[in-house]
Amino acid sequence: MNVVSGVPSGQLSSRRIDTGRISLNVREAGSGPLMLFFHGITANSAVFAPLTARLSERFTTIAVDQRGHGLSDKPEAGYAANDYAEDIAALIRTLDRGPAILVGHSLGARNSVTAAAKYPDLVRSVVAIDFTPYIEVEALDALEARVNAGSQLFETVDAVEAYLSGRYPNIPAPAIRIRAESGYHRVDGGLRPLASPTAMAQTAKGLRADLVPAYRDVTKPVLVVRGEASKLVSAAALAKTSQLRPDLPVVVVPGADHYVNEVSPEITLRAITNFIDA
């Protein structure tokens, strides 16, 4: 197995790790306690660059292209919450650096909480950004429609940026550029998403599965983060989640939509560090 070692702060290493069940592409920096980052559906590890650049001063930060995404393996099937959680467990075991702090956005939050509930010995704590139980069907319908419409052919990176800017109107231009430059590859005479359309369709359907058992059963510390203007996690969904687990701390980020860590990286960074240092 290919095991990743720490990289000095400020130096980013991109490589693949064979976990024995799947090969995952990662971006790593820093040294110290292990902190893993898991992106949302259709995205990839690069979206966490502004956070890992800062957190790698204290931690070994490893941002992961999850299965079906980025440069990681893209099996034809296996995109339920448990499949992703098993990948997380296998990665932590392969790294062999002790329990990890998990930071996940959306799909990555779902997967991180699921992994922590199933494998508490492998996890120190979880930062779950804008994905909770009780998401309304209408919000999941809209998300699935956006996901299934994303597999398009673009002529240039500028065309990708224009599309992404319309799809994510609140994400700042530098973060849009990261998505455009990292999330597409040249094929068929143009640029197509690295994320597998088959995998995205299965993953989107899997997001409808009941997340209550994972949140109910998780014993590790979990910070719940919601964008105040999120169209995915409503205020009502957050309130019901807090009723389920009143012991879990909550941060609501003013002005941010679903893409909290890209729209408000400084506030997200402060929330993570305050939670870890508490």
Residue 111 has φ and ψ, to the nearest 5°, of -70, -35
Tell me if residue 129 falls in helix, strand or coil.
strand
Please state, in angstroms and rounded to a whole number, the distance separating the CA atoms of residues 276 and 128.
Answer: 13
Are 272 and 103 within 8 A, CB to CB?
Answer: yes
Cβ neighbors of 144 (< 8 A, separation 6 or more) are: 204, 205, 207
- Mark whether 258 is an active-site residue: yes
- Mark whether 105 is an active-site residue: no
Q: What is the pTM of this model?
A: 0.95
The 3-state DSSP composition of the chain as helix, strand, coil percent (nearest 5) reads: 40, 20, 35
Catalytic residue among 130, 182, 230, 264: 130
Are 226 and 139 within 8 A, CB to CB?
Answer: no
Please choose, from the candidates 88, 117, 78, 103, the residue with its C-alpha nearest in 3D space to the C-alpha of residue 19.
88
Please choose, from the candidates 40, 2, 46, the residue with its C-alpha nearest in 3D space to the C-alpha of residue 179.
46
Are 86 and 60 within 8 A, CB to CB?
Answer: no
Token digits for 275?
Answer: 């939670």
Taking domain 13-134+210-277, whether its CATH number is 3.40.50.1820 is answered by yes
Catalytic residue among 39, 69, 105, 258: 258
Signed CA dihedral, 111, 46, 177, 276: sign only = positive
Catalytic residue among 9, 106, 125, 182: 106
Q: Write out the chain's pLDDT in tens, 278 residues.
A: 333 344 554 567 899 999 999 999 999 999 999 999 999 999 999 999 999 999 999 999 999 999 999 999 999 999 999 999 999 999 999 999 999 999 999 999 999 999 999 999 999 999 999 999 999 999 999 999 999 988 899 999 999 999 999 999 999 999 999 999 999 999 989 999 999 999 999 999 999 999 999 999 999 999 999 999 999 999 999 999 999 999 999 999 999 999 999 999 999 999 999 999 98
